[in-house]
Amino acid sequence: MKLLYPLPIQNDFLFTPSARDFTVEEIPLYEFSGEGEHLVLKIRKKELTTWDMVGIIANHLGIKHSEIGYAGLKDKYAMTIQYISILAKHEEKLDTLQADGIKILEKIRHNNKIRIGHLKGNRFEMRLKKVLGVQKDKLDSTLDWIRDNGLPNYFGNQRFGTDGNNWEDGKKIINKEIRINDKKLREFLVGSYQSYLFNNWLSKRIEISLLLQKFSESECESVLGLEAGVLAGTKSQKQFLKLLSGDIMMHYPHGRIFNAEDLASEAARFGERDISPTGLIAGSKTTKATGNAGVIESLFDEPVPLDGARRYAWIWATDISKKYISEKAQYELGFTLPKGCYATNLLDVLRG
Going by pLDDT thresholds of 50, 70 and 90, the confidence category of residue 8 is very low
Q: What stretch of H or E contains 145?
A: helix 133-149
pTM of the model: 0.89
**Does the pLDDT value for residue 1 go beyond 50?**
no
What is the predicted pLDDT for the residue at 255?
Answer: 87
Domain ranges of the chain: 1-13+129-150+326-352, 22-120, 153-315
Q: Which CATH superfamily is domain 22-120 in?
A: TruD, catalytic domain (3.30.2350.20)
Nearest to 27 by CA among 86, 68, 64, 80: 80
End-to-end CA distance of the chain: 15
The C-alpha torsion from 241 through 244 and 250 to 252, rounded to 10°, is 30
Nearest to 12 by CA among 141, 142, 130, 145: 130
Catalytic residue among 21, 75, 169, 247: 75
What is the predicted pLDDT for the residue at 84?
Answer: 97
Report, in this order, helix, strand and coil percent for the chain, each rounded to 5.
35, 25, 40
pLDDT in tens, 241-286: 999 999 999 999 988 999 998 999 999 999 999 999 999 999 998 9
pLDDT in tens, 135-167: 999 999 999 999 999 999 999 888 888 788 999
pLDDT in tens, 40-76: 999 999 999 999 999 999 999 999 999 999 999 898 9
Mean pLDDT of 124-131: 96
Provide the 3-class DSSP secondary structure of residue 305: coil
Is-contact 118 71, C-beta < 8 A? yes
Architecture, CATH, for domain 153-315: 2-Layer Sandwich (3.30)
**How crowded is residue 76: how many other Cβ atoms within 10 Å of its Cβ?**
19
What is the predicted pLDDT for the residue at 3?
Answer: 47
**Does the pLDDT value for residue 319 go beyond 50?**
yes
What is the predicted pLDDT for the residue at 352?
Answer: 77
pLDDT in tens, 192-237: 999 999 999 999 999 999 999 999 999 999 999 999 999 999 999 9
What is the predicted pLDDT for the residue at 162?
Answer: 77
Known catalytic residue at 247? no
Contact residues for 309 (Cβ-Cβ < 8 A; gap 6+):
281, 283, 286
Q: From CA 63, how far away is CA 225, in angstroms rounded?
A: 57
For the ranges 3-17, 83-97, 319-333, the lowest mean pLDDT is seen at 3-17
Q: What stretch of H or E contains 52?
A: helix 50-61
Ramachandran area for residue 93 (φ above 0: left; ψ -120 to 50: alpha; else beta): alpha
The partner residues of 278 in beta bridges, in order of sequence, read: 312
**Does the pLDDT value for residue 4 go beyond 70?**
no
Contact residues for 271 (Cβ-Cβ < 8 A; gap 6+):
238, 239
DSSP state of 118: -
pLDDT in tens, 86-102: 999 999 999 899 999 99
Mean pLDDT of 110-128: 94
Going by pLDDT thresholds of 50, 70 and 90, the confidence category of residue 350 is very high
Mean pLDDT of 77-84: 96
Is-contact 26 232, C-beta < 8 A? no
Q: Is residue 87 exposed (0-12), middle (13-18) or buried (19+ Cβ within 10 Å)?
A: middle
